[in-house]
Amino acid sequence: MGHEWTIFHQEEVKTGRKIPVPAAVHNVVGLDHEIHDHCMYWNYERIATYLVLSQYPLRESNYQDVKRTKVFRAEHGSDTTGYIRVPDSLSETVKSRYREGTRVNYMAYDQMLEQDNPTVFLLSNTQFQQLLPSGVQPSVTEAGETEGVDLEESLTNLPAFLPSP
């Protein structure tokens, strides 16, 4: 099953767990809410332990709706449209992947963006590196993480992202 990756942006986490939001991501999953202004939903995928951003909460059983957060200093049309902050309500284990200076990857393939509720993965660089084939994987220092998992297989086997029958 082939997918075309249409969004792949890497950013660096700033102080206070602030992450710049590329325009391509904001335009897809950002919601201009009447009351809350520019915002997006954070979802936690319990099986693969990925963060997934969306316009609305994901309702599948393997997702935990974390929180709707504001996109601070959002300006449509610029290369980076403000920033988001990793929610405090996430576990310390998850938040530890998004410390100041850490590189993160916004990723989405074509079918994720074509859904009624478009979605984008937000992976730490360590998570992304561990999904690469073992021959090209840089050394990863976090213990207990799976090595050599196929990137496309891991991401596309998530139930919410399988193509509709």
pLDDT tens digits, 65-88: 999 988 887 555 555 578 999 999
Residue 99 has pLDDT above 90, yes or no: yes
Distances (CA, A) of 6 to 25, 75, 106, 130, 160: 10, 22, 10, 21, 18
- Work out the percent of the chain whose per-residue pLDDT is above 90: 47
Q: Which of 80, 33, 76, 24 is nearest to 55 (CA)?
A: 33
Residues 106 and 86 sit within 8 Å (Cβ to Cβ): no
What are phi and psi for residue 142, nearest 5 degrees?
-70, 125
Q: What does the DSSP 8-state code read for residue 70?
A: E
Distance, in Å, from the CA atom of 11 to the CA atom of 20, rounded to the nearest integer, reads 7
Residue 39 has pLDDT above 70, yes or no: yes
